[in-house]
Amino acid sequence: MSEKGMLLPSLEIMPAESTTFLAKQLGTYQTAHLYYYLEALPGSSGTVTYNGKQFDLHQHVEVNINSIVNSTKSEDFYDIDGFTQWASNPVYGSNGTVELNSSNNRTIRFYYTRDS
């Protein structure tokens, strides 16, 4: 996820020691939402139906943003072991990005199907 001229920092490896991270608010902000759904187990009804498949919420990420933000497929639609990336709503454009704005409530939903 990136704003014009801005980066969203992340950690790939959590430090072993207790560490406090602080964020500085620059001006007013709004919240972008990223929802990650995993296909429900066979025989169970998921909490969400999308394109005829049942899914359960795996993770909800909230990001405070200062302006329009783009979700990038290569960064935000990450791999989850045992599942395959299936769909996103809204869908990514041919450039691998989608703008999160007021028309989509600054929200994107990712759907993963269960590997056999």
Dmax (CA) of the chain: 48
Would you state the pLDDT for residue 2? 47
- pLDDT at residue number 33: 93
Answer whether CATH 3.10.20 is correct for domain 30-114. yes
Q: In whole angstroms, give the CA distance from residue 116 to residue 105.
A: 34
- What's the pLDDT at 8? 54
Domain boundaries in the chain?
30-114
Taking only the tens of pLDDT, the chain with its 116 residues reads 544 445 555 666 666 777 666 655 555 678 899 999 999 998 888 899 999 999 999 999 988 887 778 999 999 999 999 999 999 999 999 999 999 998 999 999 999 999 98
**pLDDT at site 38:** 97
Do the Cβ atoms of 57 and 48 come closer than 8 Å?
yes
Nearest to 109 by CA among 90, 84, 94, 83: 90
Q: Which residues contact 76 (CB under 8 A, 6 or more apart)?
A: 1, 34, 108, 110
